[in-house]
Structure 1
Amino acid sequence: MKASILSCAILLTLSLGALNAVYADSATWNLNPTNGDWNTAVNWTPETVPNGPADVATFASSSITDLTFSAETTEVAAIVFNPGASRFNITADPEPLSTGITLTISGTGITNNSGVTQKLTVAPSVSSRRGTIEFVNATSAGDGTVLTVFGAGTSAASGGNINFHDTSTAGTATIVAEGALAGDEAGGGEVTFDGNATAGNASFTIDGAQSLQGFAYGGDVTFADFSSAGDAVFVINPGHGSNGGEGTMLFTDNATAANGIFTLNGPVGKFADGANITFFDGATAGNGFFTVNGGQQADAIDGSAVNFEGFNFTGQIVSAGTATIINNGGNGANARGGRTSFLFEAATASQAHLVANGGQNGGGGGQITFDSDTDGGEARIEVYDNGLLSVSAATAITIGSIEGDGLVNLGASALTIGSNNLSTTFAGLIQDAGSITKLGTGILTLSGASIYTGGTTVQRGVLLVANVSGSATGSGPVSVTTGRLGGSGIIAGAVTIGTGSGRGAFLAPATGTNVRATLTIQGALTLNAAATYTCTFRAKQNRARTDQVIANGVTINSGAMIALVGHTTGTLTQGIVLTLISNTSADPISGNFSNLPDGSIVTINGNNFQASYEGGDGNDLTLTVVP
């Protein structure tokens, strides 16, 4: 009796061991399996299903290479494709089971030694069931693998998921997030990174929805919870037709675009949506490179877009980091250009390089837009042709620099330029009622004709005007509190140099050059006690040249100084006249420079010059060579 009981116990133990072996062990997919079901033990050698956190599923040559799952959840530590392995497609199809399908890879990940591309796919759903592939711990999606997640196949159905958690990485895989295939409110395929996961060096394609009936969602890739786009490459495509949602990306919860390369494609259809990337809740564009394309058809109402949404209630700054973002114009008459927008008070352009290029074939230009209370940081901004920088929705904003020949819309905003200390030239049009302030140590050269009316202030550095028509500084007044104003262009408004106290405000037409400069001021010129007029000249025998300021009325208040910078060669011919200020007003010059009284003699290299505030046509400041 005891022997029988012992025999039964041994038999039961052996049976349980065999049962466990079927469902939890490493195994190799057979050369000639019975079918394509991963969860059927006879398809593996040994006859056990790899389904445990330490299990490795190995694949070699096989007559059946399309695999699916009959269990709701399957987990392995690794999937290995041996040298010479067949080309496999492992699919998580959610439809056969009521709760969907989840494949979890939790160890070393996918290793592909086969020499051919291996595929893992999340099939489209026609219900609320989802197919999911998850990478957890320090898992890698490997090299030579293609992971495709499809969107829904019918109305209101869910798209599939591929998720990277913890410190997992996409490796160098190719990952495709498809949009919904059909139906209204159908979900797109989704790829999610969180918990410090990274996209590694993978390549991503994020497609728009294919549905033409009802609205459907495009594919989406989300980075959250300190995850990173790494050095991956992303192509985000537009929607199809008026109802097909665009491919989208979201960075949130302190995620970063890192060194990723992103191409956002504009729509081909007139009413289709362009690709979209949004940064939110502490996310940053890192050092990423973004190409934001416009619509690719005449009258396309949308282009692709990058949005930095800094809602203050999150308590997190949303930053463009040191990214480069190129916004290209539309291609085709009235096609909308690509755009980058900074929205709400916690959004900053930081040290990014932002470019808005012009459109092609009549298309609208790329756009860079700052909303109310956003921060331009030290961003380098370039706008070309009909490319646009708009700060009209902001009250006041500071940017690093501006260059190019495009458009700047101020609205009523106060735009401050120069926080990155670069020296740049802007030849485009600045318009509206707002104002410009120059700060920083760099040189800002305005060589276009602008029509803004709010005035211009130099607080630091150098502002040069180099236009040949119109007014470089619009119609408003120009003032220098600290810094230099110069150039050989035209200023329409009145000019005031200095605040009346302290030093450091200069009027210096030839700043930064050795070429004679004539600065034309169509309004009045006032030099206060803090002002210095720096005038450069050259003279040799009977020839002389000098800087000149032309102004419609001149006031020189007590304490203002003149600095004569230059040299003479040899003995100059008596009677040579240098005109330093040409006063086009009928009124005389009011006041004298403190260091150059009327009638005084200045000796330079042995040549004597006599100052007159009644020279020229009777009210100009001149120096005449005298014995």
Structure 2
Amino acid sequence: MSQSEWNTQPVTGEWNSAVNWSPAELPASKAVFNGSAQTVITFAADSDAAVESIEFSESAAGYTFTFGPGKVPGLTISGQGVSNTSRKQQSFIVAATSSGHDNPQLVFTNNATAGTDDIYYCAGPISEQGYGGGVISFCDNARAGSARFKVWTGAEPPPQYRKENIPSTVGGEVSFSNSSSADSANFTIYGSLGIDGDTFANVVFHDTATAGKATFTNVGGTVAGGDGGNTQFYGSSSADRGVYNNWGATHEKANGGDVAFDSTASGGDGHFYNHAAVVAGAYGGVTSFNNNPPYMDAAQGASAGNGSYFNYGARQGEQGGGGHLEFSAKYGSPTGADATIVNYGSAIENKSSAGHTIFSINLPSKYFPTAGNAKIWNHPGSGEQGAAGYTEFSVYSSQNGSGSGSGSESFPTAGNATIFNLGGCTARAAGGYTVFSGQSSAGGATLIAYGGTNGGYGGRIAFYGESAGDSAKVCLFDDGELDIGYHTAGVTIGNLEMTGGVIATELGSEVSGLTVTGELSIKSSHVTFRLGKQKEGGFAFNKPYTLLICSALSGLTPELFQANSIDGVEPSFAIVGKELQVTFTQQ
């Protein structure tokens, strides 16, 4: 490979000037940098320089390469890439105002690599008070190596935002396309600095690009209404084995750092850490699925893959929203696939301060999310005032509609997931819980509620509204609870296993009872019901209410069941065919 050497006494610092090189022609193969009196390298306006590799020798100084705005890439590296044996940091600073990933200033293509951890790349605006940001692009099979990247944006709104009131999401960006990889690089990504909360820095994966083993730090938002740093996956790209830290916001009404999966992208085997916000009124870090365009076919969507997702509640003085995971299904039908999801509790009272996972749709919609085969752990709150970690399956109405279809035939479902709701482990600590509301469904999931210890409350499973139990299996231990009292009609499930446990419902004109179509397994000396009177009224003494319907009841005795008194009147139970009935007989 022929090579060109940067002169020790160049005339200028411009790459595109042949007199600065030996021999006196622009490098096309290998560009070598040794010691030099000029270590700030610039590029001519609309430069389209191209080289196969850049090498910093053992005697090289610490160089800084600066790229400004341009209609074409200032430099394309297409061969071996960048290598550094100098032990000094080499810096590539892309400071521009781009219109997206198709307008890069620095490009790595073919099999080029960005080099080792002593090579630093920065993509951002021309100044902190400027707008937008520059773009570094990896194409074909190019790799980010183990280099370090900073990605940020400026405080000024982009021109189209200022003139037409149209938000722009073009900040500094590192883009991976085709089959390129982030390799084992390290990325720090920052959010909005100004009033345009939709402009933030991005690391974006397209096509079949992968994140490799890279590390991504998405910094939480620092201004009101602003977003945090973002890592985004589109097409069939994959998070691979990357590590992702999404930090909570540090300013009221700001959003946390974000990883977003759209199209049919996958979480791969990635590890995702969604942290709580520092201040009250701020939002925690988030990982989301199908929350952004483009629209997918109804059955298609992004996947959590085999990833591990950790959602942290507000602890250690944090006062804001908890880290969370969203399967929003606005533009596709995402799945929890084979993920491991952990929702930790909070030390403060606000529900949203806990770590949580939400599977939801806004009606009308042709999309729906499923928990797939995921394993989900909902942890208890921290202390008496703390909020517990939770998983929620929800359906919301929308007056304007989502624009994605004329109606919905499917709703959020727990699929074949296993969801563990852990009891509190200190006095009066709330247990982790799972809630189904709207027309959501438990599918064929296994739902487990464990009892509390040391005076803590049990884990909880709740069905509200018109939600469906379908063929799910419910397992209750100790004071773990199944709450169906606020359901609009009776709840039907597949199987019920009770080693202790509590079933809660309300009595009145329309009793929400429980139907078990499959196996009823009771492994304790008694079954406990927690009964109340419906707020709408209709409760009557001396009237039998059906609490449970199951063919297996015929082999049991009424003495197995117990409940609380109501207005000082004790309950009496009877088994009538396949029904368990309770009556509060008033003398």
How many angstroms does 1:472 deviate by? 3.5
User: How far off is 1:392 after superposition?
Assistant: 2.5
2:347 to 354, 360, 382: 360
Runs of 5+ consecutive residues of structure 1 not aligned to the other structure: 1-23, 510-517, 524-549, 561-580, 588-627
Letter in 2 for 1:261: V
8 Å Cα contact 2:132/2:153 also seen in 1: no
Q: Which residue of 2 aligns with 1:235?
A: 217
The match for 1:341 is 326
Is 1:389 matched with 2:391?
yes
What is the CA deviation profile of residues 49-105 of structure 1, one whole-angstrom value per residue up to 9, with x for unaligned ones? 21x3xx1111122222111112511111011111232111111122xxx64652111
Structure 1, 231-240 or 345-354: larger mean CA deviation? 345-354
Residue 282 of structure 1, CA deviation: 0.8
Matched, 1:410 2:436: yes
Q: Which residue of 1 aligns with 2:375?
A: 380
CA offset digits 1:244-280 (Å, max 9, x no partner): 4421122111111111110001111012222222211
**Cα distance change of structure 1 residues 508 and 239 upon mapping to structure 2, 3 Å threshold:** farther
Letter in 2 for 1:87: G
1:490 paired with 2:525, answer no
Contact in 2 for aligned 1:249/1:276 (Cα 8 Å): yes
Distance 1:104 1:224 in 2: 19
Could you report, residue by residue, the CA deviation over 1:421-454 in whole angstroms, capped at 9, with x for unpaired residues?
A: 79773732334344545646x9564733453234
Q: What letter matches 1:428 in structure 2?
A: G
Indicate whether 1:111 and 2:100 are aligned. Answer: no
Match of 2:17 in 1: 40
Which secondary structure state, in structure 1, belongs to the residue aligned with residue 19 of structure 2?
helix
Which amino acid in 2 is paired with 1:175? Answer: F
1:194 aligns with 2:146: no
CA shift at 1:463, angstroms?
1.7
State how 1:521-560 maps to structure 2 within 5 Å. 521-522=562-563, 552-555=573-576
- Residues of 1 paired with 2:584 and 2:65: CA distance? 90
Alignment-derived partner of residue 478 in structure 1: 514
Instruction: Identify the residue that residue 300 of structure 2 maps to in structure 1.
Output: 316
More displaced, 450-459 or 134-143? 450-459
Partner of 1:528 in structure 2?
none
Matches within 5 A, 1:12-411: 26-50=3-27, 52=28, 55-70=29-44, 72-94=47-69, 99=71, 101-125=73-97, 132-143=105-116, 144-151=118-125, 153=127, 157-183=131-157, 185=161, 187-211=170-194, 215=197, 217-242=199-224, 244-300=226-282, 302-309=283-290, 311-313=295-297, 316-330=300-314, 335-344=320-329, 346-362=333-349, 364-372=353-361, 373-384=368-379, 385=381, 386=387, 387-393=389-395, 395=411, 397-399=413-415, 400-403=417-420, 404=422, 405-411=431-437
- Indicate whether 1:459 and 2:490 are aligned: no
Match of 2:536 in 1: none
- Is the 2:120–2:149 Cα contact (8 Å) retained in structure 1? yes
With over 3 angstroms needed to count, the CA separation of the structure-2 counterparts of 1:357 and 1:506, relative to structure 1, is farther
Distance 1:314 1:175 in 2: 37
The verdict on how the C-alpha distance between 1:339 and 1:423 changes in structure 2, with shifts beyond 3 A counting, is: closer
Residue identity opposite 1:391 in structure 2: F
The alpha-carbon deviation at position 308 of structure 1 amounts to 0.8
Change in 2 beyond 3 A, CA 1:519/1:70: farther
- Matched residues in 2 for 1:507 and 1:91: separation? 80
Could you tell me how far apart the structure 2 residues matched to 1:412 and 1:215 are?
A: 31
> Which moves more between the two structures, 478-487 or 85-94?
478-487
- Could you say which residue in structure 2 is the equivalent of 1:425? 450
Cα distance in 1 between the residues matched to 2:323 and 2:177: 28
Q: Does the 8 Å CA contact 1:465/1:487 hold for their aligned counterparts?
A: yes
Count of aligned positions: 489
Tell me if the contact between 2:561 and 2:573 (Cα under 8 Å) persists in the aligned partners.
Answer: no
Structure 1 position 164, deviation (Å): 0.7
- Counterpart CA distance in 1 for 2:99 and 2:442 is 54
Q: Structure 1 length as normaliser, TM-score? A: 0.70
Q: Distance in 1 between matches of 2:392 and 2:584?
A: 41
Q: RMSD value over aligned CA atoms?
A: 3.6
1:110 is paired with a residue whose SS is strand
Deviations 1:299-336 (A, max 9, x none): 32x22222111744376331111111112224568622
Q: Is the 8 A contact 2:572 2:584 kept in 1?
A: no
Q: 1:141 to 1:333 in 2, by over 3 A?
A: closer
Among all aligned residue pairs of Structure 1 and Structure 2, give the percentage whose two residues are the same amino acid: 25
- The separation in 2 between residues aligned to 1:156 and 1:34, in whole angstroms, is 31
Task: Please identify, of 201-210 and 259-268, the stretch whose mean Cα deviation from structure 2 is larger.
Answer: 201-210
Separation of aligned partners in 2, 1:263 and 1:508: 54
Contact 1:134-1:162 within 8 A present in 2 as well: yes
Alpha-carbon distance in 2 for matches of 1:243, 1:418: 40
How far apart in 2 are the matches of 1:416 and 1:126? 46
1:483 and 1:303 mapped to 2: Cα distance? Answer: 41
Cα 1:584–1:175, aligned 2, differ >3 Å: closer, same or farther?
A: closer
| 8 Å CA contact retained: 2:235, 2:264 | yes
Instruction: Give the Cα–Cα distance (whole angstroms) in 2 for the partners of residues 88 and 335 of structure 1.
Output: 42
Structure 1 contact 30–43 (Cα < 8 Å) conserved: yes
Q: Which moved more, 1:224-233 or 1:346-355?
A: 346-355
Q: CA distance change for structure 1 residues 446 and 390 in 2, over 3 Å: closer, same or farther?
A: farther
Give 1:121 deviation, angstroms: 1.4
| Number of the residue aligned with 1:572 | none
Per-residue CA shift, 1:311-363, capped at 9, x if unaligned?
Answer: 44376331111111112224568622222111226111111112222223445
Structure 2 equivalent of residue 542 of structure 1: none
- Paired with 1:480 and 1:138, the residues of 2 have a C-alpha distance of 59
Distance change >3 Å, CA 103–CA 246, structure 1 → 2: same
Give the 3 Å change call, closer, same or farther, for CA 130–556 of structure 1 in structure 2.
Answer: closer
Contact 2:228 2:258 in 1 (8 A): yes
Counterpart of 1:61, as a letter, is G
Aligned 8 A contact 2:449 2:480 in 1? no
CA distance in 2, matches of 1:339, 1:207: 19
Deviation (angstroms), 1:418: 5.8
The verdict on how the C-alpha distance between 1:209 and 1:325 changes in structure 2, with shifts beyond 3 A counting, is: same
2:239, 2:61 → 1: CA distance?
36
CA distances 1:508-540 after superposition (whole Å, capped 9, x unpaired)? 99xxxxxxxx953549xxxxxxxxxxxxxxxxx
Change (3 A) 1:285 1:33: same
| 1:365 Cα offset (Å) | 1.2
Contact 2:450 2:480 in 1 (8 A): no
Residue 42 of structure 1 aligns to a residue whose secondary structure is helix
Helix, strand or coil for the counterpart of 2:74?
strand
- Name the CA distance, whole Å, in 2 between partners of 1:333 and 1:121: 35
Q: Which ranges in structure 2 are unaligned for 5 or more consecutive residues?
A: 162-167, 362-367, 382-386, 397-410, 423-430, 452-457, 507-511, 531-545, 565-570
Please say if residues 151 and 181 of structure 1, whose CA atoms lie closer than 8 Å, have aligned partners that are also in contact.
no
Q: CA, structure 1 residues 445+417, in 2 after alignment: closer, same or farther (shift >3 Å)?
A: farther
CA distance, structure 1, for counterparts of residue 280 and residue 469 of structure 2: 35
The answer as to whether partners of 1:126 and 1:157 remain within 8 angstroms in 2 is no
Q: In structure 2, the residue corresponding to 1:208 is in which secondary structure?
A: coil
Q: Offset of 1:369 from its aligned partner?
A: 0.9
